[in-house]
Amino acid sequence: MNFIRILLLLVVGISVGKTTIAQSENEIYSLLTQLRVAQHDTTKMDIYLSLADSYIGEDVDKALNNANLAVILSSNLKDEHRLLLAYEQMMRIYFEIKYDLPKSLEYLEKAKAIDTTATTVQDRANLLGYEGRIFLAVNDFENAQEAFFEQLQTYRKLNDRAGVAQVNYHLGTLWYERRDYEQALLHYSNALTTYVELHDAEGRIHTLNKLGQTYGALRDYDHSLQFSLEALSLAQQLSDDFLQTSINANLGTAYLNLGNLGNALKYYRVALEYGEELENERLIAQIANKLGDTYHGLCNEPKAAQYYKRALDLAEDIDNKNVRKEVYQSLYEYHDEYSRHDMAYLYLKKLTQIKEELYNEERTRQFINNQIRYQTATKEEENKRLKANELENKVIISNQRIQNYVLVFFIFIVLLATYFLYNAFKQKKEYNKVLKEEVKKQTLSLEKSNQELLTSNQQLEQSNNELERFAYIASHDLKSPLRNIISFLNLIQRKMRKYDDEDLKEYLRFATDSAKQMNQLIADVLEFSRIQNAESEKQSVDLNESLILVMKNVQDMMEEKQATVETQALPVIEGNSVHILQLFQNLIANGIKYNKNPNPQVSIQHRSEKDHYLFSIADNGIGIEPEFHDKIFQMFKRLHTGEEYSGTGIGLAICKKIIQNLNGKIWLESTPGQGTTFYFTIPNGQTP
């Protein structure tokens, strides 16, 4: 059984294509030519890797040398991807060609230490394959299985069918090594189906060989023969000594167990030839031992002894307990059968001892495995915890980051708002400043115009006063000479009575009338001026009493014109009684005078408003055209000749002056031909 295991070790990793020697030589020549002209380091690294691959079947040392150059160059250039490929090449050479497990493990560790982010998923899957196979080679089934399963998952994700088939092949070997042959058959069969579908001849041959080997282990030698023979028939196309050795040895074993010692001898001999070709001492020892068994079965003592000796010498020479165990087992059985008890006992003792050693080794290995598994589990637990912490920290950090973002955003908004507010404030301030200046300017100009108005008012008042004083003085002073003129004119008139000169008498009459008219005018002016000067003399005036006096004064006029005056109870006001009398008399008299109605009517009304009394004196007289409503209040302004209506045109001017002195207003409304209403207001002493 161990013989098969060793064979397995030899072929377990062989899944890459083997080319013929001629092809390799051509390839190497072409690669060396390319290397001479290569300018870029990446190109050089790729060529070194290809050279290492091509040299594998030719010259192992050269293969190693080139792989090593690729390692140095890629690690110098920190090209992790190519460094991984170079380590894999080193691993492959040490593991598959030189069977140097420590070295293989060393490169496996180096390859695994490369940062995974720098490598592709495919690269990592390949590495897992090496890992599984190396663990398998050291009988660490658990780790090997773990690596293979991970590799299988990766290939499935990548939808890499050839990769999946390859992992199935290795898993088959793993189950074979664990002596679960049913499982091994299952995986090998899966691999075979895929290889056939993919037309992968090499994979198919290797798998057929494995199936033959597995059926052999199950003691189903018919099936073993069937698969091994199929493998053998196809293996001719491959120049692979390992494969040939394995197939022939498997066939030998099948025939040996089926009792066909002739065929067993035949295939074992071929297997031995390939083994010798390979110069593989372990292999030679195992096949020699089997040849010893076969010759022993054929009762060819000398030949059996010869092969057993060769096997024993080699087995004790090489450091492989399994091979030794196998040889001791055969020798014990061989000597025991011929009742050579001493020798039989000797090999039995050796066998027991080596079995014990192997058992101990197995236990130690299992113990170490368990220990490693425990440490790994603890580490994984710790890693998980750290990862969870990291995740938690990340969440906290990300929360903090979000908080920070929100804070920064908030600050930004506040700053923005502050900026806008500040700007608005600044603008408002500037606007206020402009406004203030404008107001100041306007105030100044208003003050200035007020001042000007005040000055011009004062000037106007002064000129009015001067004018009024002048009018008073003039009229007063004119009165006396005019009175003299009238007196002398009267004297002249009296003297002229005795003369009969009618023309002269007429002239004198004119002169006297004009002088009288002039006298009346002067009297009016004087009257007006007096009102002006008497403005401050105010007392309570009962208007009902004033009206009684007025009615007396206009009685003749009323009778003459058949006029009526209507009134109501009137209030008591503050003013000058003489002026109030004049005011009412002028307005009532005008209402009767300027009236062509056969029944002239004058109506006096009043009503109390907020701070004043509103009076109205309405007549049904001739009325006044609108354009004269303002003009008639001017001094001496008349609308009719003396012939039409007598008068001097001073009455309304006096009325206006009296009302102004009382701080009131006077105006009129009129419809020509229908009548006129004069309105005036007199303050009632209430503040508004």
Residues near ligand ADP (CB under 6 A) are 586, 590-591, 594, 619, 621-622, 624, 632, 638-640, 645, 647-652, 676
Using the minimum distance from each CB to ligand ADP, give the nearer residue, 325 or 593: 593
Using the minimum distance from each CB to ligand ADP, give the nearer residue, 256 or 588: 588
Amino acid occupying residue 569: A
Strand 564-566 versus strand 601-609 pairing type: parallel
Using the minimum distance from each CB to ligand ADP, give the nearer residue, 79 or 619: 619
Rounded Cα distance between 23 and 646, Å, is: 158
189 to 60, 203, 231, 317: CA distances (angstroms): 33, 12, 14, 38
Q: Residue 622 is encoded by which pair of tokens?
A: 């001739």
Rounded Cα distance between 100 and 525, Å, is: 153
Rounded Cα distance between 114 and 127, Å, is: 11
Using the minimum distance from each CB to ligand ADP, give the nearer residue, 203 or 621: 621
Q: Measured at CB, which residue is nearest to ligand ADP?
A: 647
Using the minimum distance from each CB to ligand ADP, give the nearer residue, 132 or 621: 621
Q: Residue 155 is encoded by which pair of tokens?
A: 């290939």
205 to 8, 216, 226, 244, 602: CA distances (angstroms): 14, 17, 13, 11, 150
Q: Kindly state the smallest distance separating residue 523's Cβ from ligand ADP, in Å.
A: 12
Rounded Cα distance between 419 and 426, Å, is: 10
Using the minimum distance from each CB to ligand ADP, give the nearer residue, 329 or 620: 620
Name, in order, each residue with C-beta under 8 angstroms of 592's C-beta and a sequence gap of 6 or more: 554, 557, 558, 561, 563, 565, 600, 602, 619, 621
Do 541 and 572 meet the contact criterion of CB atoms below 8 Å apart? yes
3-class secondary-structure state, position 529: helix
Do 672 and 621 meet the contact criterion of CB atoms below 8 Å apart? no
Q: Kindly state the smallest distance separating residue 678's Cβ from ligand ADP, in Å.
A: 7
C-alpha closest to that of 545 among 575, 516, 571: 571
Q: Where are the alpha helices (DSSP H) in 496-601?
A: 502-533, 543-553, 555-561, 577-593
First to last CA, the chain: 136
Using the minimum distance from each CB to ligand ADP, give the nearer residue, 10 or 581: 581
8-state DSSP, 239: -
Q: Kindly state the smallest distance separating residue 633's Cβ from ligand ADP, in Å.
A: 8
Amino acid occupying residue 450: N
Q: Kindly state the smallest distance separating residue 649's Cβ from ligand ADP, in Å.
A: 4
Residue 575: Cβ within 10 Å count: 23
Q: Kindly state the smallest distance separating residue 589's Cβ from ligand ADP, in Å.
A: 8
Do 653 and 527 meet the contact criterion of CB atoms below 8 Å apart? no
3-class secondary-structure state, position 127: helix
Rounded Cα distance between 356 and 275, Å, is: 29
Using the minimum distance from each CB to ligand ADP, give the nearer residue, 158 or 639: 639
Using the minimum distance from each CB to ligand ADP, give the nearer residue, 544 or 646: 646
Q: Kindly state the smallest distance separating residue 613's Cβ from ligand ADP, in Å.
A: 21
Q: Kindly state the smallest distance separating residue 639's Cβ from ligand ADP, in Å.
A: 3
Rounded Cα distance between 629 and 648, Å, is: 18
Using the minimum distance from each CB to ligand ADP, give the nearer residue, 401 or 596: 596
The whole-angstrom distance between residue 562's C-alpha and the CA centroid of its chain comes to: 102
Rounded Cα distance between 126 and 124, Å, is: 5
Q: Kindly state the smallest distance separating residue 514's Cβ from ligand ADP, in Å.
A: 17
Using the minimum distance from each CB to ligand ADP, give the nearer residue, 189 or 648: 648
Q: Kindly state the smallest distance separating residue 516's Cβ from ligand ADP, in Å.
A: 15
Q: Kindly state the smallest distance separating residue 634's Cβ from ligand ADP, in Å.
A: 9
Q: Kindly state the smallest distance separating residue 644's Cβ from ligand ADP, in Å.
A: 8
Rounded Cα distance between 192 and 211, Å, is: 9
Q: Kindly state the smallest distance separating residue 584's Cβ from ligand ADP, in Å.
A: 13
Using the minimum distance from each CB to ligand ADP, give the nearer residue, 212 or 651: 651
Do 206 and 243 meet the contact criterion of CB atoms below 8 Å apart? yes
Using the minimum distance from each CB to ligand ADP, give the nearer residue, 67 or 655: 655
